[in-house]
Each structure stands twice: as C-alpha cells, then as structure tokens.
Structure 1
C-alpha cells in the first residue's frame, strides 16, 4: 500500500496524521512529547518518521495562543561569566530545545536579587533559578495567578518548591576527611562572601567533619581572583600557619595560589590548597587542583526537565540530589614536618 501524496504547501499536523495513519490528537501528543503512557512506541516512531519525511515544522505562535503560553522560560543565575553557570545553561538549553522551549537568561544583582528588567510573569511560562533564595523571586512571580511555576537549583530544599541540588555537603565531607587522612590538623578556611544556601551547606559539612582538627584562620571573599588573593594572604601568614587551606570555590583557590607564591610558599610542599566545583581553573593552575567535581550540565538538564514536567502536569516532582566526586590532584599532600 503506497503512502499518501506529499502536500503541496507547508505541511500541517493534519498532513502528518494522514501520512502516519493516526489521529491529529495522537500527532499532538507525540510532537509535544506527552505520549508516554498514552501512545505506543511504534506509533511514536511512525509519527516522527512522517513529520521528518514531510518536513513538518510546528506553528509555535498558533500553539502558544491556543495553550495560553509563550513557550519561554527564564533561567536565573548569579553571574553570566562563571564556567559553572555556563555549564548549567548548556544542560538546561539542551532539554528546553528538545521540548521546543526558548530560554531567557537573567542575572541576579549581587547573587541576591533580580536586577531591574523588562520581563514580567506574562512574558514567561516558568522560572528555573540557581543559587539563591525563593523570596527574591516573589515580585516576578506575584503577577501570575497561583504563582509562576518555579524550580530551584543549588538552593535550600523544604521551602515548598521543587529543588535539584548537587550534594555539596557530601562533597565537602569527603574532601575534609581526605585531608584529615593525609595528616592535616591545622586548617585555614576561605569561605564565599555570597549569602547562599549552597555555601552555608558546604561550611556546615566542613565543620562537622573536622573532628579534633582545628581552624587556625578563616576569612570570606567574593568569587574573584584578586579578592581571593587578598583574603588568603593573612590566612597563610597567620602565626600558627595552617598546613591546608580549604576554599569554597576553584577560583578562590587560584587566588590562594597567588597569595602563597607572594609569601614564598610552595603548594603543596609548604601548604596544601583545595577548591570546589572542578571548574576550568582547576586544570590551569600548577600543580593541578584537588577539588570536588559538581555535575553542572546535569544539574541544568535535570532542573529544566523538572520545570517543564511541572508545566505539563501542574504537579511538582520530587526533590533531586546529584552526587559529586572528589578529584585528587597535585595541590594536596601530607603536611610538612613541624
């Protein structure tokens, strides 16, 4: 039996249905990726094959009007220049593209609040927000009846919003216990100055894992190279000099390398240094940095999937926790004698 003739003009979903031998509603379910549990895999294949053969492209403007949606979501991140948030965007964008959504990327102001901008809840269907509290998003969400759908990344769970988090506490615990296992007992701590759940969770896990070890010096800095260098200088020059400096972020650790060099100290012979995140800086410094690898691309992908599922079903999914990995490199070693 021959296939139906190809349409003369731009193919429609009705043409796809006729070509695949199914109903238009089935085509809609398949092309909207809502077929699971409703349409057989064989039929899905037939619909997708027909759409590809016809060169079918959905009319997004018409579909948006019909559904009352813009098919645009907002990704809120603290900064646009961080490799971590670049990776988060990569994962989120892949999932959004597969489900025919666009993304607006929006930075926060100092990692705390939304900067002023043209977007309102009427212009977007949902928000995927990373590394901030729920409350600063209130103004944006308030214009939407019943609140704009929201999923949080790297943010405090238990606030009535679905979260997708890296297991930063377990990562910091594993790192601290590894350093103690090397023999370190005099720790310095360079924390992030950004007020965020993720950094609070790292610090709490660090202190819980110390045991009989002590923190002989500590400070906070922004996640900037020069600020981290300035903050690390007095830590490494403390009278009871630490044998290891634990940083909240790889860029801070790179600043600590510069501070150690300025003081005539060698890493790791005189002082060990650790980071967190396994960003590009971790492999650029010499020696390469011991750190905790966070699955940033997967974080963005899983978060976007959770948000789009929420838009489809109206029901929040379970919180997700993604495991990190301790990466041991040349920046850590047993403490020097004495």
Structure 2
C-alpha cells in the first residue's frame, strides 16, 4: 500500500530536515544492511553527495537470510554507483556474552577496518581516506534503547541512550536519523519507488527490543502521541548530566590518583567516590562494576581505617584489592 499524500509530505520534510543538519567530513561510509533504515540513509546521502559515499555491509553469518541481504546491497549499490565492501564476521557470542552484544562488537570492528582500507569510486579512481561513518538508527530505535536502559536500572549514562555524534578509532561517527520515525523512513522510500529487504529477526519477540517495538511503542503512541520527542529530550538531559559527571570524575581522579589513594577517596562524598571509581575502572582497566559490587566497595573504603584492613572484592571482570595505601585492580586470567 502506498503512503497517503500527507504521510509522504511528512516523510519528505523529516528526511530533508535531518539531512540539512548533517554535515560530515567526506568521503563518508554508510553502514548498509539492505533494510529500510539504512537504505533510506544511503539513498539520501548519495543524492546529497554523489561520488563521495561508500557503503559497508557486515555479513554476520547468523541466519540463512543473510545472502539475500548481500544480494539487495549489491543491487542497490550497482544501481546508484556506490562502492560497496562486504565484511564477513563470525558474530557468535562468547560464554556470558549476549548475542546482541557480540554481533554489535563484531560489527563495529568490521566497520572500522573497512573504513581504514583504500576505496575507489565506481570508475576505479582512488578516493580520499574515509573520514566519517554513518549509522541508520532512528527515533524509534532511540526510544527502544532508552526503555531498555530503564528496564535495567541504568544511570544517566545509560539513559542518555544513543549519541548523534561521537568519535572512535580516529573516525567521526554519526546517527543523522535519530529525529525521524521509522514509519516516515519507509514512507519516504516508497515515495521514491525504492525497495528494501526485511530482516526476519525483527519480528522475533524472543528479543526484548522486538517486544518493546511490537507492544510498548503502539501503547505509548495512543497515550502519549509526542513520546518520541519528549523521551529524546529526557535522553539529552541525561547526556548533559553524564558529561558533567565525567568532567567531575576526571578532576577527582587527578586528586585521588591512579591507582586511587584510600585516604583521598575517604575525603570525598560517597556519590563522588562511586563516580570516580567507575571512571577509574572503565577508563584505566576497561571494566564496569555492577551497582551491588560498587556499593560493597564503598562500604569497605569507609571501614578501611587500620593498616591491617584487607580489601579484596570482585568488580567487573576482575578484582579490586588494597595495596598499601591505595586500591588496585587486576584480572587473574591475564596474570596467569
């Protein structure tokens, strides 16, 4: 069914507005699955910056439909003269790792590797090095991410949901469609006469995100029609708060030292201790403690008033222990 003229008009306005505010350094690589969202993003980018867009498709090898995704990507890119790289990854999860997290980690690694490789345009002429990467998450994805974070009891960093722009591996990353509803992206593609493929796992309600999409978003639409905009505003407020906490944590870590001195930690409030310890563990040791683990460490720090007081606690994927006047962290698997 073709979208109504009103929906087509709203879709066109939303996509045009998103692209007007999108100003990446070129050439730009677009993560391209062949689905509606990434097809809309890639088509919009190709029309705005012809000859400066390349596409990367990550083949996860997790479902039989994957070859159909590849075929759709090849067809679209040949039709629009877009250079395409297909990256095959083994996205199976490790013990204790969720399938979604494993696929995401492998996908990001493949995108970074592909962006760093040499590219040529449709005529075989070498392109300049890729400067930016664009992902196609949209307004509904942002709401789903926020609701997932709420369901897990996340702090302000988690409630900030997905950033529209960040830097990683010397690349600028963008999500230019975060203000556009998924329904509008599909309506826009239909108005352009552009097809896409549907991922069959998107309707599999064994995944929490799919249950949110199928059950919660329609209910929110009925009760709070503007929920996308208001929840996105809440996420922006959380992102600002998370940035302030990060700045405070950096300042406090400079004061307490790395590894942190116990007496210096004790001079801070419990909230600031938790904030700086999270920052220390994440930035220096690449691990994140649970709330219960961090609460236990704070109790031990408060009780640590004698030389003989021992601290040895599981935090993240390692252990925090007392070493003289300071705390230290280690991973026993790395030491073996």
TM-score normalized with structure 1 length: 0.25
Higher share in helix: 2
Higher share in strand: 1
TM-score normalized with structure 2 length: 0.25
Which of 1 and 2 has greater Rg? 1
